[in-house]
């Protein structure tokens, strides 16, 4: 009976909540300054997707020293963007929950000056390195390469490649999707060390929230996730438009050409013919956890069960009553429709690939 009533009136209930004008104010804390890296979130805001989902959203860029996980855990924002450090925070007991992995492969890398005498990553010892404490993927990479981290001269990252170009540091952590542009423009006098070369292939930018949000307001978590992915879907399909939007409203200091460059470099890391946009899987997070544990970066007290880290909308259906079903029904239906559309698109791509005379091909991120 609840199911029938749910299907019949849930859309009406949700529509009343969404368009009544009583939008819920929420904040999204980014992990970096404004750039195309967060295009889907800007799109969801500017195209009204968040408003349609019942939210009044403020997007907060990071400043030097900002730890997005700390900001969200301390109540400075309801949602945030972080990376693989989320599994470490979860292992330490922090109540973080992964909603969607936007980057299926992390673009994080180390860039070093060629004139600094650094031929291999092991030569970093004794050099100045701009590296944030929460960029744990780099620390895992360094440890796997047997680089003595305690011998690095760690410097506060100012979110700019200028520190490297001007020689104030010998190396810095940055995204290969955009940091490669400026060094390349000055003659390519740099080297790039990538964690993937050592088998450290983790998720990149990931939308997350708190356990309290998922428990107390499950419909908010699901609606925010769905609206964000809708924004990302549009942004990736309309890169020129969104690059111009970001330049005009969020990052006037970044030329549109740079934003386009970043968008192009992001595509193999974000989009995939094999999984849906935002896909996140417990087995892969388990692998990330296991790598961190192998390198001694996980507390001994951690039991290794990380299933609670991953948001699963199905869990809440067993813990809410009929009224809860009614309030969140349209959100579930909207997400089911979105997933169905994605499966249709993936199936169409697969049929096209199978029909090519050159045979079946798969794309692989280098």
In tens, the pLDDT along 61-91 reads: 998 888 999 999 999 999 999 999 999 999 9
* pLDDT top residue among 300 and 337: 300
Q: How many other C-beta atoms are found inside a 10 Å radius of the C-beta of residue 343?
A: 11
Total structural domains in the chain? 2
Residue 113 lies in a domain: yes
Please report the DSSP string for 255-309 in residue order.
-HHHHHHHHHHHHHHH--SSS-TT---HHHHHHHHHHHHHTT-S-TT--S--GGG
3-class secondary structure, 12? helix
Residue 278 has pLDDT above 50, yes or no: yes
- Give me the percent of the chain exceeding a pLDDT of 90: 57
Q: Is there a single domain that holds both residue 91 and residue 211?
A: yes
Residue 68 lies in a domain: yes
Q: Is there a single domain that holds both residue 157 and residue 172?
A: yes
Six-digit token pair at 175?
Answer: 């995204």
Residue 346 lies in a domain: no
Please report the DSSP string for 43-80 in residue order.
HHHHTTHHHHTTEEEEEE---TT--HHHHHHTTS-SEE
Tell me which residue range forms the domain holding 139: 108-198
- H/E stretch holding 239: helix 239-249
Rounded mean pLDDT of 170-191?
72
| CA proximity to 295, closest of 95, 84, 31 | 84
Rounded mean pLDDT of 26-48?
97
Q: Is there a single domain that holds both residue 94 and residue 216?
A: yes
Residue 242 lies in a domain: yes
d(CA 329, CA 5): 10
**203 pLDDT band (50/70/90 cuts)?**
very high
pLDDT for 359: 37
Q: What is the pLDDT of residues 88-135, one digit of tens each?
A: 999 999 999 999 999 999 999 999 988 888 899 999 999 999 988 888
Q: Is there a single domain that holds both residue 29 and residue 165?
A: no
Q: How many other C-beta atoms are found inside a 10 Å radius of the C-beta of residue 165?
A: 18
Residue 327 lies in a domain: no
**344 pLDDT band (50/70/90 cuts)?**
very low
Average pLDDT, the chain: 81
Q: Is there a single domain that holds both residue 211 and residue 310?
A: yes
Q: Is there a single domain that holds both residue 218 and residue 297?
A: yes
Are 172 and 128 in contact by the 8 Å Cβ rule? The answer is no
Six-digit token pair at 310?
Answer: 């991953």
**323 pLDDT band (50/70/90 cuts)?**
very low
Its pTM stands at 0.78
């Amino acid at each position: 009976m609840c199911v029938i009533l749910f299907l019949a009136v849930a859309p009406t209930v949700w529509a009343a909540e969404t368009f009544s004008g009583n939008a819920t104010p929420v904040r999204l804390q980014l992990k970096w300054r404004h750039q195309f890296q967060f295009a889907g979130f800007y799109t969801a805001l500017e195209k009204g997707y968040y408003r349609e989902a019942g939210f009044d959203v403020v997007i907060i860029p990071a400043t030097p020293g900002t730890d997005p996980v700390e900001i969200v855990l301390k109540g400075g924002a309801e949602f945030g963007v972080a990376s693989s450090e989320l599994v470490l925070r979860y292992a330490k007991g922090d109540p973080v929950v992964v909603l969607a992995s936007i980057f299926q492969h992390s673009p994080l890398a180390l860039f070093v000056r060629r004139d600094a005498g650094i031929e291999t990553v092991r030569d970093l010892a004794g050099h100045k390195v701009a590296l944030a404490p929460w960029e744990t993927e780099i620390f895992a990479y360094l440890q796997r390469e047997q680089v003595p981290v305690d011998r690095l001269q760690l410097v506060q990252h100012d979110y700019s490649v200028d520190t490297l170009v001007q020689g104030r540091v010998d190396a810095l952590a940055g995204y290969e999707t955009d940091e490669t542009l400026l060094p390349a423009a000055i003659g390519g006098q740099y080297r790039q060390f990538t964690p993937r070369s050592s088998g450290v292939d983790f998720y990149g930018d990931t939308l997350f929230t708190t356990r309290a949000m998922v428990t107390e307001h499950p419909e908010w978590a699901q609606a925010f996730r769905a609206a964000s992915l809708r924004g990302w879907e549009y942004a990736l399909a309309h890169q020129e438009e969104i690059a111009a939007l970001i330049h005009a409203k969020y990052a006037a200091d970044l030329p549109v050409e740079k934003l386009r460059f970043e968008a192009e470099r992001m595509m193999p890391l974000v989009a995939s013919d094999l999984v849906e946009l935002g896909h996140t899987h417990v087995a892969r997070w388990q692998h990330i956890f296991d790598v961190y544990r192998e390198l001694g970066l996980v507390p001994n007290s951690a039991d290794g069960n990380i299933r609670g880290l991953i948001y699963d909308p199905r869990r809440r259906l067993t813990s809410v009553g009929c009224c809860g079903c009614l309030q969140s029904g349209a959100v579930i239906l909207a997400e089911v429709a979105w997933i169905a559309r994605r499966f249709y698109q993936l199936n169409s791509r697969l049929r096209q690939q199978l029909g090519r005379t050159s045979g079946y091909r798969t794309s692989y991120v280098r």
